[in-house]
């Protein structure tokens, strides 16, 4: 029997609610590696840690920052995860980035996960747990404290149950052309440029030549790591680090992509997109300032959506006219 596929777990939740402390309690790894993160007491970059679940299954944890200014970093980290660990502090409850991150998870189609009500040494977890159950009805809610250790084993056990329900998201994309969305790029002394990400589709092997996009520069895979172990080949859904030959570090950034030359991907200035208007933050912000009723917010959002649909139809029409 083959071992179950390694999964990628992403944290989510408001700033200071205890995501990094919980990952440390679960894995022993402090994912805040930067001196600036320690000085400011907050996560800035994505952090990574390996987690072995009680039954032995391997999981790669992506720890995201909660600060509202770093939501793009959160989205980059959440892209490609299989399931989530939503962290809500018992003494603070559901806050704006709890809602925003829940929206991002929903938009990315991440349905499985666990809610940890942390800091339960400080306050009763019940009120936050009730709100969490309403926000993420499919997720098990577990109270814990990274400070006292209470409930940490229960969080791991709940993650194990959630992992059993997860269909590894990369599996259906293994036969497609290879694409890696880069979420970090850095230099390793003696090795050169290294990029990391969750392999979106296809596979990568040592020696492959790929295109770095949008620069459209050829790069070669000098070596690979999968879930922190050296490997000859990586498959869709796996967490990978790629040592690249042919590119200096300054020419690669988060948001770039590596793609199989056969994928035929090329930069474009025109995209065909459908926008989903998030009512939550708009309603909160506007209601706070103006006192406008929630129902009116919904009406405004629907009007904006119908305007967006009409614009999209017009853009599609214009693009059809450009076809040769």
Measure the CA–CA gap between 43 and 241, rounded to whole angstroms. Answer: 21
Asked if 122 is part of the footprint of ligand GTP (rule: CB under 6 A), the reply reads yes
Distance, first Cα to last Cα, the chain: 53
Asked if residue 118 binds ligand GTP (CB under 6 A), the reply is yes
- From the list ligand GTP, Mg ion, none, partner contacted by residue 18 (C-beta under 5 to 8 A by kind): ligand GTP
Least distance to Mg ion, CB of residue 100, Å: 16
77 or 237: CB nearest ligand GTP: 77
Binding mask 257-286 for ligand GTP (x = CB under 6 A): ------------------------------
Nearest distance, CB of residue 85 and Mg ion, angstroms: 12
- Does 16 participate in binding ligand GTP (rule CB under 6 A)? yes
Which phi and psi (to 5°) does residue 185 adopt?
A: -140, 130
Tell which residue, 19, 179, 149, 129, has the closest CA to residue 84.
19
Q: Which stretch binds ligand GTP (CB under 6 A): 61-69, 220-228, 258-266, 278-286?
A: 61-69
Which of 10, 17, 20, 185 lies at the binding interface for Mg ion (CB under 5 A)?
20
**Can residue 24 be called a binding residue for Mg ion (CB under 5 A)?**
no
- Considering the complex, state which of residue 24 and residue 169 has its C-beta at the smaller distance from ligand GTP: 24
Nearer to ligand GTP, 21 or 219 (CB): 21
Contact status: 77 vs ligand GTP (CB under 6 A):
no
Identify whether 75 is preceded by a cis peptide bond (ω within 30 of 0): no
Residues binding ligand GTP: number (CB under 6 A): 21
Among 12, 19, 199, 238, contact with ligand GTP (rule: CB under 6 A): 19
Largest CA distance in the chain: 67
Q: Which residues contact 190 (CB under 8 A, 6 or more apart)?
A: none
Interatomic CA distance for residues 226 and 234, integer angstroms: 6
CB-based contact 45:66 (threshold 8 Å)? no
Torsion sign over Cα 201, 191, 187, 219: negative
Say if residues 224 and 204 touch (Cβ distance below 8 Å): yes
Closest residue by Cα to residue 17 from 115, 113, 162, 141: 115
Nearest CB to ligand GTP, comparing residues 35 and 291: 35
218: CB partners within 8 A, 6+ apart: 209, 210, 211, 212, 246, 261
Among 68, 121, 228, 251, binds ligand GTP (CB under 6 A): 121
Partner in contact with 170, chosen from Mg ion, ligand GTP, none, beta carbon below 5 to 8 Å by kind: none
145 binds ligand GTP (CB under 6 A): yes
Return the residue matching tokens 């349905």: 111
One of 27, 43, 112, 201 touching Mg ion (CB under 5 A): 43
* Residue 1: partners with Cβ closer than 8 Å, 6 or more residues away: none
Question: Which residues make up the interface to ligand GTP (CB under 6 A)?
Answer: 13, 15-21, 42-43, 65-67, 87, 118-119, 121-122, 145-147
Question: Which residues make up the interface to Mg ion (CB under 5 A)?
Answer: 19-20, 43
């Amino acid at each position: 029997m083959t071992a179950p596929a390694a999964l990628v777990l992403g944290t989510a939740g408001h700033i200071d609610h205890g995501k990094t402390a919980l990952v440390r309690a679960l894995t022993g790894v402090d994912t805040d590696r930067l001196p600036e993160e320690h000085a400011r007491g907050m996560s800035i970059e994505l952090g990574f840690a390996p987690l072995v679940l009680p039954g032995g299954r391997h999981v790669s944890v992506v720890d995201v920052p909660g600060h509202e200014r770093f939501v793009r970093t959160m989205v980059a980290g959440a892209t490609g995860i299989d399931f989530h660990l939503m962290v809500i502090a018992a003494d603070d409850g559901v806050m704006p980035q709890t809602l925003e991150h829940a929206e991002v998870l929903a938009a990315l189609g991440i349905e499985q996960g666990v809610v940890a009500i942390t800091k339960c040494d400080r306050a009763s977890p019940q009120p936050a747990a009730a709100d969490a159950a309403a926000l993420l009805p499919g997720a098990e809610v577990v109270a814990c404290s990274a400070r006292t250790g209470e409930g940490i084993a229960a969080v791991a056990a709940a993650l194990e149950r959630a992992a059993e329900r997860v269909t590894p998201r990369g599996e259906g994309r293994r036969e497609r052309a290879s694409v890696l969305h880069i979420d970090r790029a850095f230099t390793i002394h003696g090795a050169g440029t290294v990029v990391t990400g969750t392999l979106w589709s296809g596979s990568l092997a040592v020696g492959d030549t790929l295109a770095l996009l949008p620069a459209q520069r050829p790069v070669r895979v000098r070596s690979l790591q999968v879930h922190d172990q050296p490997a000859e080949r990586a498959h869709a859904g796996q967490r990978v680090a790629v040592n690249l030959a042919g590119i200096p570090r300054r020419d690669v950034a988060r948001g770039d992509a590596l793609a199989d030359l056969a994928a035929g991907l090329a930069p474009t200035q025109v995209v065909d997109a459908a926008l989903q208007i998030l009512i939550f933050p708009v309603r909160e912000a506007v209601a706070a300032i103006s006192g406008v009723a929630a129902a009116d917010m919904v009406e405004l959002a629907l009007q904006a959506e119908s305007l967006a649909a009409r614009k999209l139809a017009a853009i599609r029409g214009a693009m059809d006219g450009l076809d040769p």
